[in-house]
Amino acid sequence: MTRIKGGVMALKKRNNVLERAKGYRGLRSKKKNYAHEALMRAGRYAFAHRRDKKTVFRQLWIVRLNAAVREAGHKSYSVFIAKLKKAGFGLDRKVLAEFASDRPEIFERISKQVV
């Protein structure tokens, strides 16, 4: 059986790793082992932060809603949300926060119906 050397595939794999690590600082963009380690770490952070992003946005919507709710004359955000659910509104916090910041006249109408 003839001997098959793995140089072509090894070089292809190495170039792929280095291509993905382009722009990293120092040896992380030059050496395969350092680049691979940096890519694995970046992947873990990306996975975790995709989940964290959802929490951060929800917190932002709640802060915006709380400010708009107090401005509209309600006691607090939690009381407003409880009344909203009791009234049977099917709007989520994202939509309500968008109305509160971009279209205050719509949010005003909603808050009057919730009373």
pLDDT band at 114; cut points 50, 70, 90? confident
Task: Decide if pLDDT at 115 tops 80.
Answer: no
What are the tokens at 89? 């509104």
Percent above pLDDT 70 for the chain: 100
Asked if 59 contacts 97 with a C-beta cutoff of 8 angstroms, the reply is: no
Share the mean pLDDT of the chain. Answer: 94
What are the tokens at 114? 């919730």
Asked if 21 contacts 29 with a C-beta cutoff of 8 angstroms, the reply is: yes
Asked if 15 contacts 35 with a C-beta cutoff of 8 angstroms, the reply is: no
The pLDDT value recorded for residue 24 is: 97
CB atoms closer than 10 angstroms to residue 65: 22
For the residues 77-88, what does the mean pLDDT come to? Answer: 93
The CATH number of 7-114 is 1.10.1900.20
For the residues 60-89, what does the mean pLDDT come to? Answer: 93
pTM score of the predicted model: 0.73
What are the tokens at 21? 């690590």
Domain boundaries, the chain: 7-114
What whole-number distance in Å separates Cα of residue 74 and Cα of residue 83? Answer: 10
